[in-house]
Amino acid sequence: MKTKNRLFVIILFVVSSCLLCSCGNLSRSKAKNLILQQLNSDQSKPIWTRESLIVLDFPTYFGRIETSSPFKQETEMLVNKGYITMSGRNVFVLNPRIKPYVTMDTGCNITIGNAKDVNITGISGDGNYREVVYDIIYTLNPLGEDISYSRGLSRQKSIRFRKYDDGWRID
């Protein structure tokens, strides 16, 4: 009988130790959920800083929208597909078809994709801090598909997590 009690106590100790030790770990699934929550909550940020979107950001000067050299290929496709019309050497106007995808803030921001998922590629660190490396995977909206946007539908990022008494949070 004493042997059974000792065995029970040992098993109980091992199981509880494993459970308590694993509570402090930041798993890939937990990190993914927290990052997706942050991506979905970035609606209050200016559109050109949102990681949840792929945005073509064109400068405006005195009400005129100007082409931007990083988006030369996309500008040509927007013209060819009838979304914008060139009205000068480096200036264009928006056609009605593109209006649902445009936000005018400090510039002309044309949204062509949205974050679909996150893939955690690594977690490093110890103690109360972890560095998580991840890829944001985007899906094109109808405009992005129509202009055959192909400059990368994923972005690699890293983010720092901090452990608090109630769990892990993005730092």
Provide the 3-class DSSP secondary structure of residue 8. Answer: helix
137's CB contacts (< 8 A; 6+ apart) are 115, 116, 117, 118, 119, 153, 154
**Cα(47)–Cα(60) distance, rounded to whole angstroms?**
15
pLDDT tens for residues 43-80?
767 766 778 888 898 999 888 899 988 888 899 999 99
Q: Which residue in 163, 167, 165 sits closest to 131, CA to CA?
A: 163
The pLDDT tens digits of the residues spanning 146-161 come to 999 988 789 999 999 9
Backbone dihedral region for residue 148 (phi beyond 0: left; psi -120 to 50: alpha; all else: beta): left
pLDDT (mean) for 15-30: 64
% of the chain residues with pLDDT over 70: 84
Rounded CA-CA distance 93/57 in Å is 14
87-100 mean pLDDT = 92
82 residue type, one letter: G
Measured CA distances, 164 to 18, 34, 128, 129, 158 (Å): 20, 14, 8, 10, 20
From the list 168, 128, 165, the residue with the least C-alpha distance to 32 is 168
